Amino acid sequence: MTTTEGVRAPTSADDRELEGRVAIVTGGAGGMGLATAHALARRGATVAVFDLAAPGRTELASTLGVPADRVRSVAVDVTDGDQVQRAFASLLEERSRLDILVNAAGIAPPTAFEDITEDEWSRVLAVNVHGTFLCCRRALPAMRGGRWGRIVNFSSTAGKTISTAGGAHYTTAKHGVLGLTRHLAKAYGPDGVTVNAVCPGLIDTPMARAVLPGGALERAARSFPVPRVGEPWEVAELVAFLASDRAAYITGAALDINGGDLIV
Ligand SMILES: NC(=O)c1ccc[n+]([C@@H]2O[C@H](COP(=O)([O-])OP(=O)(O)OC[C@H]3O[C@@H](n4cnc5c(N)ncnc54)[C@H](O)[C@@H]3O)[C@@H](O)[C@H]2O)c1
């Protein structure tokens, strides 16, 4: 006799599966962060964008296609512990819960190793790793309190091998993001909190266009098994899945999404 036990997902991928959830997306004003904010909002979540370049609330709501009371836009430098603390405190005071944290803020200067100054090295580590640490630290108490949480950190193919265009500091930082992700996954799984990383390859965002200008992005992608540059929404769909109930048994993973550029 056939059984559907273990086969049929307890929830379906319908458009409202994140209804009632509150999400923070760092770096949510542009590129894959913005695409992720859109994917979460479309599934019913209230989305707070934390970004250096925070758009106005009305503008963000209109971009995401949801009412203004379902979005928040906060100007935050994720490397600044006080700013991060204030932004989390204010959101938690207003919404009384936090379910999803997506750490997408990042920078990837393409500087050659011998030209990287100490300041630049520190800044790249600060945005990509320290910012992720600061935000996870503020998010975890609320998630543990609710016995449910989803953290998705942005690593990169650079976190598994070396960066295509970013510098040695970027490669180092994205390896660091994977270490933090794995450690937190182990520590907080029993509290109902999953912690995963996505490792995008070349995705068509302002960052990728800045480090690979003038057609270099397309040229770099031509040899991939899927011979094109990835779209931000394709990564956002993966993040939204990881943020859902359907991904409850995935934690500590570093999921590649790169058109087959890195097959391991
Ligand atoms: N584009 C790619 O090909 C690619 C590939 C692999 C990984 N990534 C990673 O994906 C993430 C998103 O990248 P993207 O390509 O969408 O970049 P992007 O530059 O298009 O967007 C990044 C966003 O982060 C914000 N940001 C930068 N520093 C910040 C800070 N200190 N505090 C708050 N916000 C800050 C920016 O204002 C911007 O809105 C990054 O972590 C990046 O390293 C990108």
Architecture of domain 22-257: 3-Layer(aba) Sandwich (3.40)
- Residue 1 is predicted with a pLDDT of 45
**Residue whose CB lies within 8 A of the most ligand 1 atoms, among 76, 124, 153, 207, for a mutation test:** 207
The domain segmentation of the chain, as residue ranges, is 22-257
pLDDT in tens, the chain (264 residues): 445 577 766 655 567 999 999 999 999 999 999 999 999 999 999 999 999 999 999 999 999 999 999 999 999 999 999 999 999 999 999 999 999 999 999 999 999 999 999 999 999 999 999 999 999 999 999 999 999 999 999 999 999 999 989 999 999 999 999 999 999 999 999 999 999 999 999 999 999 999 999 999 999 999 999 999 999 999 999 999 999 999 999 999 999 999 999 999
Which helix (H) or strand (E) segment holds residue 149: the answer is strand 149-154
Sign of the torsion angle spanned by Cα atoms 95, 245, 41, 144: positive
Q: Which atom of ligand 1 is nearest to the CA of 158?
A: 6
Q: Give catalytic residues, as residue numbers.
A: 170
Sequence-distant (6+) residues with CB within 8 A of 157 are 163, 164, 199, 200, 201, 256, 258, 261, 262
pLDDT in tens, 48-96: 999 999 999 999 999 999 999 999 999 999 999 999 999 999 999 999 9
Average pLDDT in the chain? 95
Q: How far apart are CA 75 and CA 66, in angstroms?
A: 20
Quick check: pTM over 0.85? yes
Ligand 1: residues whose CB is within 6 Å? 26-27, 29-33, 51-53, 76-79, 104-108, 127, 131, 154, 156, 200, 202-203, 205-208
Q: With contact defined as beta carbons under 8 Å apart, do 155 and 170 qualify?
A: no
Query: What is the C-alpha R_g of the chain?
Result: 18
